[in-house]
Amino acid sequence: MNNKFSPSLFCLILINIGTSCAQEDITGVYNRSHKGDPHGASHLFVLENNRFVVTFFGGAIAGTWNITKGNLVEFKPDVPKQKIYLYGRHNKDIKDSCRIFFQGFENNETFIGFEDKAPLRRVFNPSPNCFSYPYVYKFPHIPGQMIMADKEDKEPNEKQNETSSKNIYTFKNTKKYNDFVAYYFEEHNDRRPFYAKIKEKQLFLSEDHAAQKRPLSENTKDLIFIKNIANMPQETNSVMYNPFYEECREDIAKDTLNWRFEQNKNAYINFLNYVEGEDNTTKIVYEFQHLPVTGKSAGAIAIDEVPLFVVKCKDRE
């Protein structure tokens, strides 16, 4: 048998591979909005590193894109890896108690506890309304752990004072933090994958909606902003808040021309404008560190029906 490899055959294979792998360049900006859209203008930025950003009034969504068979483009928005995240810091002002800022927990039936096999207490009353932020609750002790969960869709055989959850998270407080920020991420339809068809150098976002491609304007402030959104990490090691629970820029620690860290306050202060003793101000910012999940489970949970927060309009009772 002749085992010699033919150079001409090798070249032919390379040509065929190159042809089959060739894909149309879809990087650019596309207008996703249509006439009469109540949500206003929306644009799709398709970037060269298989990342995309959708902008709309009041927000943006980032994710990854990929061209599949038949010139079909799949856009997959980034979704949080877990439903609940927890961040903490040391706060000497509240001593041996602890407080938690709950963000997003009103969007589902959510629960919290501190001991294994003990009932989990409701964060909000069922069907809450008439909100007044922020929601901060103070507990009389520093917990060694926290258990947080949400509720599944109600099942027909659900018992009173008991429910089931696919998301029961345990966080160990090994560093004895006493000041916390907790996030709950609700599932949204706008985080589901969507598709577009490449046809005649256009993206058909639906059968009757063809979006024309415009080139990305390189090195402009807008494009730099879009790329920063696209490249933001899905998880962060810390978050920044001022005393009013307004989230602040993550780069404050690097802004040495305006901010410095003060050990005795365990906070960053805007030393150009901060007045000593006035800690209830936007000129001071606290950094909360990420607490990793140490256990995740699913199953039945016992409920303490007395909520931390009762949020209900009188005229809707």
Residue 271 lies in a domain: no
Residue 294 lies in a domain: no
Residue 148 lies in a domain: no
Residue 17 lies in a domain: yes
Residue 138 lies in a domain: no
Per-residue buried b or exposed e for 262-297, using 16+ beta carbons within 10 Å of the residue's own CB: eeeeebbbbeeebeeeeeeeebbbbbbeebeeeeee
Question: What is the pLDDT, as a whole number, of residue 57?
Answer: 80
Residue 14 lies in a domain: yes
Question: What is the pLDDT, as a whole number, of residue 79?
Answer: 87
Q: What span, in angstroms and rounded, lies between the C-alpha atoms of 185 and 85?
A: 8
Residue 66 lies in a domain: yes
Based on the structure, what is the number of domains in the chain? Answer: 1
The enclosing H or E element of 70 equals none
The pLDDT tens digits for 78-105 are 988 899 999 999 999 999 999 999 999 9
The answer to whether the CB of 151 falls within 8 A of the CB of 109 is: yes
Per-residue buried b or exposed e for 198-227, using 16+ beta carbons within 10 Å of the residue's own CB: beeebbbbeeeebbebeebeeeeeeeeebb
Q: What span, in angstroms and rounded, lies between the C-alpha atoms of 249 and 241?
A: 9
Instruction: Give which of 108, 100, 106, 101 is closest to 130, Cα–Cα.
Output: 106
CA distances from 11 to 3, 5, 23, 216 (A): 17, 11, 20, 35
Question: What is the pLDDT, as a whole number, of residue 35?
Answer: 57
The enclosing H or E element of 229 equals helix 221-230
Beta bridge partners of 182: 86, 102
Give me the residues of the chain with pLDDT under 70, please. 1-23, 34-40, 153-161, 189-190, 219, 314-317
Residue type, 173: N
What pTM did the predictor assign? 0.78
Q: What span, in angstroms and rounded, lies between the C-alpha atoms of 258 and 179?
A: 25
Q: What is the CATH number of the domain that holds 13?
A: 2.40.128.300
Domain boundaries, position 29: 7-78+189-230
DSSP string spanning 154-169?
PPTTPPTTEEEEEEEE
The answer to whether the CB of 91 falls within 8 A of the CB of 134 is: no
Residue 120 lies in a domain: no
Q: What span, in angstroms and rounded, lies between the C-alpha atoms of 280 and 226?
A: 33
For 235, counting Cβ atoms within 10 Å of its Cβ (0-12 exposed, 13-18 middle, 19+ buried), the class is exposed
